Structure formats: C-alpha cells, structure tokens
Amino acid sequence: MQTRFTDRFQLKYPIACAPMAMVSGGILAGAVSRAGGLGLIGGGYGNAEWIAQEHALAGDTPVGGGLITWMVDKQPDILDAALSNKPWVFMLSFGDPRPYARKIKDSCSALFCQVQRLSQLDLALEAGADVIVAQSSEAGGHGMNNRATLTLVPEVADILAARAPNTLLLAAGGIADGRGLAAALTLGADGVLVGSRLWASRESLAHQASKALAVRLTGDDTDRSIVFDILRELSWPEGYSFRALKNTMTERWSGREDQLLQVVEEERAKYLAAVAAGDFSIAHSTAGQAIGMIHDIPTAAEILERMDKQAADVLLRLGRRT
C-alpha cells in the first residue's frame, strides 16, 4: 500500500508502531522499522536510562521516540535526554507541543503530534507538526472520551486539507487489522498508528500473562477510567482517562473514585502486589477495544504484513464490486 506517509518516510507499509510507554522497547520498534513500518520507542514519562537502553537495543535500525508532553512541562530535561539518542522522528502526546517543536524539528526528521480534540489540532498546527495522529476513544492507554475514529479522522482530514495540506495524518484507535487500515485510508488518513495490536506481539515488553489474557477477551472487556492513575499516583490533567482491560479494580472503583481515595493506601498496596505477581485480575493490562480483533501473538513483521495484505484485498474487492 503506497500513501503519502510511505513516500515521505520511505516505508513499505503505511503503519507506525505507537510509542507505548515501557511496552514499545527497542526490540519492538526496531522490528517494526526493519519490517517496513515506522517503529517508535515509548519514552512515556521520561526515564532517560530506559530510553537510552532501548535505543541501543534497536541497533542501527532507524526508530523514533515519544514522550508525554505534560511530563516534559514538569521536567524539560527529559526531552533533551530523549533527543540525545537521535530518534528518527519524535512524537508528543497529551499537552501543548508548541514550546518544544523547534527543538524537535531541529534534531530529527519529523514532529508527530497526537491529538484527541480539534482544539489540540490548532496547537499542533501552530507548532508546525509534520504528522498529526488523530486518536479516538477506542484506543488503548491514555486518551479522551467521546470521539470515534469514524468521525474524528475525516474531520481532521478536512481541516488539514484546507489549512495544512502538506501535513500528514495517521489514524489511531481501534485499528488492528487490514479492515481498519483500509477504513482509515478511506476516511482520509495517510496511514495508521497502531498500539494494542502491536502490544500483543512477540516483541512487545508487555507481560506474557497480560497478553495471553487479552487474546481471549472481546472489545466489550475494556473500559476508560482514572482508577489506575489514582493507584499509580499519576496526576494526569483534567479530561484524560486510561483504557485498559476491565478487572476487579475497575469493576469496583470506576465511577466511585471519591470512595477509592478514602482507602487508597490499602488498595494501592494490593495493586502493587498484583503488579509484582503478574496478577491481572487486579493489576492493569493496557489495551483498547481492538483486542476483540486480536486472537494471537505473532511477530511484529507478521502483523504488518497481514494488515497490509488484508487492506489491499478489501479495497480491491470493494473496488471490483462497485
């Protein structure tokens, strides 16, 4: 599948691997880039030592990086540390990218900005983003409620066509197979940014038990909440929530966060013990609604090849029919 995204970055597939914090390490990002996609290392909250180690694991394969923007606001040094690894491209999500855009654009080949709202798109365009990632609420991990891929992507595509025609667009959220890739291209995206499907790959750093659990579940089995942020003492800005597999923690506390705060020390101790033990009936498994389409744990290269082939087949078949 050839798109503006594959042309711009010389890729075989119009697919980027999301910079999933502590999940997209150098082995996964490197595998995606080597297979012909664009792999990004998930710098997340900015552990400089971990980021450097993962870049080293990617070897000579060009990979990108990413950080959580509101964390960079708190500790600007983490951006310098991340950029010192010479990422191919760099993605900022969850905050105002404008203060950091110049530095990023000077040190790597493109700035990617992930947005959930049109107001954030304005900031990303002011920052001079080369690639916009439109993330809908189906997505795994942090994001916002209320916008679905089917409406967010064409709305952003129309705005980009009118205001910034050279800026590329990736769709993110709920895309796990070739049907999703074909749909995203049909909606006006130049490619997709995939999280959950690559989370359930052999190379991802996600816990084996967590991946094994996810492949048995359906899209009904995830939920957005701030329960795990409270348990992890992460103070995310207003409006953001976290999509993960439902479990006893979310079933008990989602919508009852005030009560959770009253017993938070006790619940946090249970949660931390479960993380250490790999007990995902209590610990979080970060995956989105796409898990309903994920039934195995192949290599990243197999995932990319399958998605691309299925998308091409779907588009060809539909083209023939019409």
Provide the terminal-to-terminal Cα distance of the chain, rounded to the nearest Å.
20
Query: Residue 185 is which amino acid?
Result: L
- How is residue 60 annotated by DSSP? T
44 versus 97: smaller Cβ distance to ligand FMN: 44
Closest approach of ligand FMN to the CB of residue 270, in Å: 22
Closest approach of ligand FMN to the CB of residue 112, in Å: 9
- Are 250 and 281 a contacting pair, CB within 8 Å? no
- Burial (0-12, 13-18, 19+ Cβ within 10 Å), 237: exposed
Closest approach of ligand FMN to the CB of residue 229, in Å: 13
Closest approach of ligand FMN to the CB of residue 124, in Å: 13
Q: How many residues are listed for the chain in this entry?
A: 322
Can you tell me the distance from the alpha carbon of 192 to that of 137, in angstroms, rounded to the nearest whole number? 15
Longest dimension (CA), the chain: 60
Tokens describing residue 138? 């189906």
Q: How many CB atoms lie within 10 A of CB 125?
A: 17
Sequential DSSP letters for 36-58: TSEEEEE-TTT-HHHHHHHHHHH
6 versus 135: smaller Cβ distance to ligand FMN: 135
Q: Where are the beta strands (DSSP E) in the chain?
A: 15-17, 38-42, 64-68, 90-93, 111-115, 131-135, 141-143, 168-172, 191-194, 222-225, 241-245
290 versus 301: smaller Cβ distance to ligand FMN: 290
Closest approach of ligand FMN to the CB of residue 266, in Å: 27
Query: Residue 191 is which amino acid?
Result: G
* Core vs surface per residue 2-25: b (16+ CB within 10 A) or e: ebbbbebbebebbbbbbbbbbbbb
Can you tell me the distance from the alpha carbon of 107 to that of 104, in angstroms, rounded to the nearest whole number? 5
Closest approach of ligand FMN to the CB of residue 303, in Å: 11
157 versus 307: smaller Cβ distance to ligand FMN: 307
Closest approach of ligand FMN to the CB of residue 219, in Å: 10
82 versus 230: smaller Cβ distance to ligand FMN: 82
Q: List residues binding ligand FMN (CB under 6 A).
A: 18-21, 23, 42, 44, 66, 68, 93, 114, 135, 138-141, 172-175, 193-196, 199, 286-288, 290
209 versus 264: smaller Cβ distance to ligand FMN: 209
Closest approach of ligand FMN to the CB of residue 320, in Å: 29
58 versus 287: smaller Cβ distance to ligand FMN: 287
* Residue sitting closest to ligand FMN (CB): 195
235 versus 322: smaller Cβ distance to ligand FMN: 235
